[in-house]
């Protein structure tokens, strides 16, 4: 991963309330190679932090921050700290020790080196680089636990929407020994997912491709899916509820994460309107993961979208 960061790096961050978190995460996400958010448990406020090439796309950054302010109604002051590539990676690594997730998985940074197996568990070896998904985040952990919970249904067609590092696609391919389509809107995530899949011995099973939501034809061509994992953010999830309902099988399992516990009702409402029912909720810190089930008659009588699938669900326009 280091070779990708020969240019000087800069960490930019804002401190905001939970209400404004999503807007600022989206703003920094447009500019930065990597975005993380951390809660100060004492104040309840969030620090949204991203790493970018120093000074890159300054005009875009200003525009993105202005949009975040308009959307959230909250102004935030941008802090900038120059960051040595090695220092940043070292810090990422320090926050990425080996960890057990659920009953079936161990997530292990490839920087830890060496092979180590834990009895009864699948080791997911990941590069803790810029793509999101090193397993330390509550939303990723929730998805891995949810995957274990639905694995007994032996889904045949599987989609990991917003794959990041590929962690969920790799976990699904290794647990179920099935092909998994893994998509992301960011090219570096698609590359990281393919590379991590090969490193975990499931290169031929994980098909990583660039796609924005359900827009890619290659994604829709392989529908309907029996299992969809989508760890994105609350609002994009809501917008995708309708195409999701069209492109899954009757009785399909849908695992949604990337939402704060406070956004639970918003996301659930958008999916209930499309015929999904809640099977279980998993909490990891401030993060909620929903396990939904498509109704047995899901595909009959559903409103078809135009194939692009980005219609805004009225329940999510807030
Ligand atoms: C929170 S990360 C989840 C990564 C990984 N699946 C995990 O569980 O750790 C969300 C990922 O979704 C991607 N993403 C955001 N919007 C997307 C969209 N409209 N279509 C596809 N991917 C998207 C981001 O680039 C990012 O890699």
User: Both 180 and 82 in a single domain?
Assistant: no
Is any atom of ligand 1 closer than 6 Å to the C-beta of 36? no
Q: Residue 18 to residues 14, 46, 290: CA-CA distances in angstroms?
A: 12, 6, 20
**Average pLDDT in the chain:** 83
State whether 170 and 273 are in the same domain: yes
Residues 142 and 249 in one domain: yes
Residues 173 and 289 in one domain: yes
| Whether pLDDT at 286 is above 70 | yes
> What is the model's pLDDT at position 88?
42
Domain of residue 147, CATH code: 3.40.50.150
Which of 102, 132, 147 most suits a substitution to test ligand 1, by most atoms within 8 Å of the C-beta? 132
pLDDT above 90: residue 162? yes
pTM of the model: 0.76
Average pLDDT of the residues in 14-28:
90
pLDDT exceeds cutoff 70 at 145: yes
User: Same structural domain for residues 161 and 253?
Assistant: yes
Is the pLDDT score of 306 beyond 50?
Answer: no
Which one is predicted more confidently, 253 or 134? 253
Domain finish residue from 65, 92, 119:
92
Strand partners for 150: none
Domain that holds residue 222: 138-316
- Residue 111 pLDDT grade (very low, low, confident, very high; cuts 50, 70, 90): low
Q: Which atom of ligand 1 is the closest one to the Cα of 133?
A: 9
Q: Any idea what the CATH number is for the domain that residue 71 is in?
A: 3.30.70.260
Tell whether the model's pLDDT for residue 124 goes beyond 60.
yes
Q: How far is the CA of 165 from the centre of ligand 1 (A)?
A: 9
Which range of 1-10, 170-179, 207-216 scores highest in mean pLDDT? It is 170-179
232 lines ligand 1 (CB under 6 A): yes
State which of 59, 92, 125 marks the end of a domain.
92
Q: How far does residue 38's CA lie from ligand 1's centre (Å)?
A: 18
Confidence of residue 109 (pLDDT cuts 50, 70, 90): confident
Residues 6+ apart with CB under 8 A from 206: 166, 169, 170, 173, 179, 180, 182, 193, 194, 197
Give the model confidence (pLDDT) of 59-83 as tens digits. Answer: 999 999 999 999 999 999 999 987 6
């Amino acid at each position: 991963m280091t070779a990708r960061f020969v240019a000087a790096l800069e960490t930019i961050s804002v401190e905001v309330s939970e209400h404004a978190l999503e807007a600022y995460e989206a703003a920094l996400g447009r500019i930065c190679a990597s975005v993380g958010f951390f809660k100060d448990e004492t104040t309840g406020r969030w620090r949204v932090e991203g790493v970018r090439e120093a000074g890159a796309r300054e005009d875009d950054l200003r525009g993105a921050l202005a949009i975040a302010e308009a959307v959230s109604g909250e102004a935030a002051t941008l802090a900038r700290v120059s960051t040595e590539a090695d220092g940043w990676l070292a810090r990422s690594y320090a926050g990425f020790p080996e960890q057990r997730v659920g009953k079936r998985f161990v997530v292990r940074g490839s920087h830890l080196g060496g092979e180590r197996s834990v009895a009864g568990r699948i080791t997911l070896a990941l590069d803790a680089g810029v793509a999101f998904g090193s397993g330390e985040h509550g939303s990723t952990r929730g998805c891995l636990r949810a995957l274990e919970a639905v694995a007994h249904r032996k889904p045949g067609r599987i989609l990991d929407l917003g794959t990041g590092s590929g962690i969920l696609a790799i976990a699904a391919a290794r647990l179920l020994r099935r092909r998994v389509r893994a998509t992301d809107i960011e090219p570096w995530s698609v590359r990281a997912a393919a590379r991590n899949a090969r490193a975990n011995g499931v290169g031929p099973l994980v098909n990583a491709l660039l796609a924005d939501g359900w827009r890619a034809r290659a994604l829709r061509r392989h529908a309907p899916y029996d299992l969809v994992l989508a760890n994105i953010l609350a609002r994009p999830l809501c917008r995708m509820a309708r195409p999701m309902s069209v492109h899954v099988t009757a009785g399909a399992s849908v695992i949604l994460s990337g939402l704060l516990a406070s956004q639970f009702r918003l996301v659930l409402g958008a999916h209930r309107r499309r015929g999904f029912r809640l099977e279980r909720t998993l909490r990891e810190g401030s993060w909620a993961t929903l396990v939904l089930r498509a109704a047995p008659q899901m595909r009959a009588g559903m409103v078809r979208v135009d194939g692009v699938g980005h219609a805004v669900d009225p329940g999510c326009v807030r």
